[in-house]
Chains A and B, each alone.
Chain A
Amino acid sequence: MSYTMFSAFEFKRKDTYIHKLDPRTKMFMTIVFMTVALLFTTIIPLLITFIITLIPILLAKSVEEWLNSLKGTTILLVFILVINSFIRDLNFALAMILRLIVLITAFSAFFLTTHPDDLAQALIQMKVPFDFAFALSMATRYVPTLAREAQTIMDAQMSRGLELQKGGLTQKIRNLIPLIIPLIVNSVRRALSIAESLESRAFGAIKKRTYLYQLKLKKNDFIFIIFLTLYLLLMIYIKIYSPLASWMEWKFPL
């Protein structure tokens, strides 16, 4: 489970309209989609939001990868469904799940189509200090590595008779110790060796860096941003000024 979930957020090189957009445009896109998802709490508007959020995934030809990321979060989705059904009702629970799916979709649309280096470059041009931008791009770069390592550790411990599904809740949590400790120890070891190799290549020797590539917003970026802005404003307008049409408030009769 863990591996597919992480690999779903892994960048895949493809030649599509979305992949070619500036990272800053895509960042804006993710923020807009998130904001809109947080505006509504009923099923129909969230369903419409979901369909619109799906457009960039379709344009990026990344439906399969996106489905994998959803598959990885199934347990979380079921958990939210159950908890919310108990606390409020099924309609609210379904709406919350839809909202989470929109958030996941918005994030995977960004990470599936943006190379970590481009993300770092975008941050730098947004005046984020180089060290922070670099740390962030390193972190995204190591997510799949970590996921692969988690899988290997799981295999190794299962070969020693570890059964993850065995026992009650406390036992199940205790079962995770043999997985988490090697993962942390290895991460710390790796972090130290990365730091050493960075220093041996004179990381931070020059305060002011120059860059081979500069990101520039192109025509397509502006068009996309205009659409996104209109979409956001429209949704805010609907939320604040126009009472939702009755069919928009439709619920499962319970």
Chain B
Amino acid sequence: MIEVINVWFTYPNGTIALRGISLRIRDGESVAIMGENGAGKTTLVKHFNGLLKPEKGVVLVDGINTKETSVAKLARKVGLVFQNSDHQLFSTTVEDEVKFALKNLGFSSEEIKERVDWVLKFLDLERYRERSPLSLSGGERKRVALASVLCVKPKILILDEPTIGQDARQKRKLGELLKKYQEEKNTVIVVTHDVEFASKYFNRIVVMARGKIIADGPPNKVLTNPTILEESSLSPPQVTVLSREIAKKINNFPKDIVLFGELLNEIIARIRR
């Protein structure tokens, strides 16, 4: 569980990135953190694994204060995948790249082998095992970066903008993988601008603006609220736009639908009636 209690953070250049954030993320939740550029999303998730320490307030990971432990110690529990995979790939083969974190965290050699095999299979990267990560395409590099963190099997997995530069198929695959990982009793947190991705694969949406949390709830409550969307410069999911348009013409048609399946069922039910 992650507990964030009234956290403030200011960068050395004077930018106040977080202004009194309080948030509780329970084990096994799937959370999408959304909001406009510069809202403080990345700053917030960097607090979850201790890269940044709060200036005021406390961040507790499973009851441990991040101020009193090291990033390396937290890395076993909290995995953070950065936005740009080029900021972390350096090994000569994909296999070595994945091994890096496992070696750093002191896993035994059998366990390293087992986990490398598992993660490469899980992310469909087996055929790239001997390839240089730098020679892969952008989308594949992103998956290798994910593999290099996921191999630790962190109880809490955080991804910063995982869908950027991914085609529709990769995005769907990624969404399903994250869902599968979450269903194995792990917490999955993403930072994203992609409302479709967030509403489809995540149960809880946290919206930030100007260093504060302005909304927190299930997708069909948060992503259908025009005031929240406006304030955080997000566009509503296409399904929501459509359901709103229908609601203008047809009495008591629900306006808060975010998922395609739900909208379809609603329409079919009305046609049948």
Instruction: Give me the interface of A with B, judged by CB distance under 8 Å.
Output: 3-4, 7, 149, 152-153, 155-163, 177-178, 181-182, 185-186, 189
A149-B87, A156-B88 are known; give 18 further A-B pairs, CB within 8 A.
A3-B12, A7-B12, A152-B84, A155-B46, A157-B88, A159-B51, A159-B75, A159-B82, A160-B88, A160-B100, A160-B148, A162-B72, A163-B72, A163-B104, A177-B90, A182-B88, A182-B89, A186-B86
**B149–A159 touching, CB < 8 Å:** yes
Which of B49, B72, B86, B104 contacts A182 (CB under 8 A)?
Answer: B86
B interface residue count range (under 10 / 10 to 19 / 20 to 34 / 35 or more): 20 to 34
Collect the chain A residues with CB atoms within 8 Å of residue B148's CB. 160
- B71-96 interface bits toward A, Cβ cutoff 8 Å, 1 = contact, 0 = none: 11001100110101011111000000
A-B contacts, 30 listed (Cβ < 8 Å): A3-B12, A7-B13, A149-B87, A152-B84, A153-B87, A156-B82, A157-B88, A158-B51, A158-B71, A158-B72, A159-B82, A160-B88, A160-B100, A160-B104, A160-B148, A160-B149, A161-B72, A161-B75, A161-B76, A161-B101, A161-B152, A162-B72, A162-B100, A162-B104, A163-B104, A177-B90, A178-B90, A178-B100, A185-B86, A189-B86
Bound CA–CA A163/B72 (angstroms): 7
Name, among B13, B46, B88, the residue most crowded by chain A CB atoms within 10 Å (CB to CB).
B88
B109 interface residue per 8 A CB criterion: no
Minimum C-beta distance from A13 to chain B (A)? 14
Q: Which residues of A contact B70 (CB under 8 A)?
A: 163
Report chain B residues within 8 Å CB of A156. Answer: 80, 82, 87-88
A161 pairs with B90, CB closer than 8 A: no
A residues less than 8 Å from B104 (CB atoms): 160-163
- Tell me, in angstroms, the Cα distance from A182 to B82 when the chains sit together: 13
Q: Flag whether B134 is at the interface (Cβ < 8 A).
A: yes
Q: Does B64 contact A (CB under 8 A)?
A: no
User: Which residues of chain A are near B46, meaning CB under 8 Å?
Assistant: 155
Query: Considering the complex of A and B, which 8 residue pairs feature the smallest CB-CB distances, nearest first?
Result: A161-B104, A181-B90, A160-B101, A156-B88, A161-B75, A159-B80, A156-B82, A161-B105
Chain A nearest Cβ from B265, distance in angstroms = 41
* CA of A97 to CA of B79, assembled, Å: 43
Question: Are the CB atoms of B101 and A182 closer together than 8 Å?
Answer: no
Which residues on B are within 8 Å of A, measured CB to CB? Answer: 12-13, 46, 49, 51, 70-72, 75-76, 79-80, 82, 84, 86-90, 100-101, 104-105, 134, 148-149, 152
Q: Are B87 and A160 in contact (CB under 8 A)?
A: no
**B71 & A152 in contact (Cβ 8 Å cutoff):** no
CB distance from B46 to the nearest CB of A (A): 7
Q: Which residues of A contact B152 (CB under 8 A)?
A: 161
List A contacts of B72 (CB < 8 A): 158, 161-163
Cα–Cα, bound, A219→B79 (Å): 60
The distance from the CB of A80 to the nearest CB of chain B, in whole angstroms, is: 26
**B145 nearest in chain A by CB position:** A156
Known: A160-B149, A162-B104, A178-B100. A153 touches B88 (CB 8 A): yes
**Docked CA distance A177–B88 (Å):** 11
Indicate if the CB atoms of B90 and A155 lie closer than 8 Å.
Answer: no
Question: B86–A159 contact, CB under 8 A?
Answer: no
Q: Known interface pairs A152-B82, A161-B105. Does A185 touch B88 (Cβ–Cβ under 8 Å)? A: no
| B23: min CB distance to chain A, Å | 20
B75 CB contacts on chain A under 8 angstroms: 158-161
A158 to B78, CA, bound (A): 12
Q: Which residues of B sit under 8 angstroms from A181, Cβ to Cβ?
A: 90
Q: Which chain A residue has the least Cβ–Cβ distance from B104?
A: A161
> What is the distance, in angstroms, from A237's C-beta to the closest C-beta of chain B?
44
